[in-house]
Amino acid sequence: MKIQTLVLGDYQVNCYLVSDDEGNAVIIDPGYEPDRILLRIRDLNLKVQAIFLTHGHFDHIGAVKPLYEALHCPIYLNPKDVTLPPYLTQGLLHYTDEYEEGDRISIGKLSFTVLETPGHTRGSVCLLCEDAIFTGDTLFAGSCGRTDLGGSWFDMVHSLNRVVALKEDLRVFPGHGPASSLAIERRENPYVTQRSLT
Distance of CA 162 to the CA centre of its chain: 16
Give the nearest distance from C-beta 147 to Zn ion in angstroms: 10
- Report the distance separating Cα 61 and Cα 54, nearest Å: 9
Q: Which is nearer to Zn ion, 33 or 137 (CB)?
A: 137
- Residues contributing to the site for Zn ion (CB under 5 A): 57, 137
Give the nearest distance from C-beta 60 to Zn ion in angstroms: 6
Q: Which is nearer to Zn ion, 57 or 186 (CB)?
A: 57
- Report the distance separating Cα 143 and Cα 130, nearest Å: 23
Say how many C-beta atoms besides its own lie within 10 A of residue 23's C-beta: 14
Give the nearest distance from C-beta 75 to Zn ion in angstroms: 17
Q: Which is nearer to Zn ion, 29 or 33 (CB)?
A: 29
Q: Are 172 and 186 in contact (CB under 8 A)?
A: no
Give the nearest distance from C-beta 108 to Zn ion in angstroms: 28
Of the candidates 96, 92, 80, 189, the residue with the CA atom closest to the CA atom of residue 143 = 189
In 18-108, where does DSSP find H-type helix? 34-43, 58-61, 64-71, 86-89
Q: Which is nearer to Zn ion, 19 or 180 (CB)?
A: 180
* Residue of closest CB approach to Zn ion: 57
